[in-house]
Amino acid sequence: MPAVIAENDVSQWADQTGVVYHFPKRYQAILTPGTQVIYYKGKLLDKAFADSRLSPSPHYFGVATIEQVHADEASSKGDLYAILSDYRAFAEPVLAKEGDDYLEVIPDSKASNYWRSGVRPIDGATYQRIVNKARLKPFEVREAEPLPSLDEFESREEGHPSKVYSTRYERDPKLRQQAIAIHGLTCKGCGFNFEKTYGEYAKGIIHIHHIVPLSEYQGSRVVDPEKDLVPLCPNCHSVVHRIKNATLSIEDLCKILRGVKC
Ligand SMILES: [Zn+2]
Ligand SMILES: [Zn+2]
């Protein structure tokens, strides 16, 4: 069953439209892999966000598909993350209300508090009604934050340069964003955080390491950003990739760093 998912202008989570959506456990049965979702924004509350949305009124602004759902390990309440794919933005807003009528069908049982739910299951006809009113923009090639140039961190052994890490999974901008949303920007090896040390200017710098050795990779496997990717600082990343085809595990890295918590 499709669903509407509300996006707040201000979010305490590392949500990114069409990429990652954080939600409470009570919506777990609704947001399952394969679910088609329509993004929704409620009424504009803070004028500072007027320019970053399509309309100040409640409206729909894009569609996507839930690809994976992961537990948010930082949550004590069992919150979850959905990883989304196939995001398409609407060129113009589709307003939630036309005249006196809402595009969503509000069940009588929920008449008083329907709009308070951030995640709302809708039937296929409602999904189509909303999408038919939208002009879908083409699939977005997401503008990623600039990747650190991995070549700059090539290891040199006795004068022979060897490219040590530049797998496409580690460079893929969407996987990178998803991994950062899940794991944060702090190195899983040594705990280094660019922003803490260098301040705002360096915020966002981190390497994303793919922990399944590529040699064991059968090509068709889907990369799971929660289990397969970890943030590492350039130093730790160099260490785990020091020997070609013998990438260290994060546990090995922690043993080397003895005493530093992983
Ligand atoms: Zn590190
Ligand atoms: Zn790596």
Domain boundaries, the chain: 3-133, 150-256
Which conformational region is residue 213 in: left (phi greater than 0), alpha (psi within -120 to 50 degrees), or beta? beta
CA of 26 to the centre of ligand 1 (A): 36
Gap between the Cα atoms of 169 and 186, Å rounded: 19
CA of 89 to the centre of ligand 1 (A): 37
Cβ burial 118-156 (10 Å sphere, 16+ → b, else e): bbbebeeebbeebbeebeeeeeeeeeeeeeeebeebebe
CA of 14 to the centre of ligand 2 (A): 23
Please state which of the ranges 148-162, 169-183, 207-221 shows the lowest mean pLDDT.
Answer: 148-162
Counting residues of the chain whose pLDDT is more than 70, the rounded percentage is 80
CA of 9 to the centre of ligand 2 (A): 34
**Ligand nearest 233 Cα, by number?**
1
pLDDT band at 212 (very low <50, low <70, confident <90, very high): low
CA of 164 to the centre of ligand 2 (A): 8
Q: Which H/E stretch holds residue 124?
A: helix 124-133
Q: Which of 4, 224, 230 is nearest to 240 (CA)?
A: 230
CA of 234 to the centre of ligand 1 (A): 7
**Ligand nearest 214 Cα, by number?**
2
Q: Is 21 helix (H, G, I), strand (E, B) or coil?
A: strand
CA of 19 to the centre of ligand 2 (A): 22
Q: Is 97 helix (H, G, I), strand (E, B) or coil?
A: strand
CA of 171 to the centre of ligand 1 (A): 18
CA of 235 to the centre of ligand 1 (A): 6
Q: Is the pLDDT of residue 17 over 60?
A: yes
- Distances from the Cα of 114 to the Cαs of 102, 104, 108, 169, 246, in angstroms? 12, 10, 9, 41, 54
CA of 182 to the centre of ligand 1 (A): 17
CA of 183 to the centre of ligand 1 (A): 14
* pLDDT at 240 (0 to 100): 87
Q: Is the pLDDT of residue 91 over 70?
A: yes
Averaged over 96-116, what is the pLDDT? 92
CA of 240 to the centre of ligand 1 (A): 10
Q: Which H/E stretch holds residue 129?
A: helix 124-133
pLDDT tens, residue by residue, 20-47: 899 999 999 999 999 999 999 999 999 9
Q: Phi, psi (5° rounding) for residue 40?
A: -135, 145
Q: Which amino acid is at 49?
A: F
Exposed/middle/buried for 250, CB within 10 Å: 0-12, 13-18, 19+?
middle
CA of 255 to the centre of ligand 1 (A): 13
CA of 72 to the centre of ligand 2 (A): 23
* pLDDT at 235 (0 to 100): 92
Averaged over 117-144, what is the pLDDT? 85
Q: Phi, psi (5° rounding) for residue 124?
A: -60, -35
Q: Is the pLDDT of residue 146 over 50?
A: no
Beta strands in 29-79 (DSSP E): 36-41, 59-71
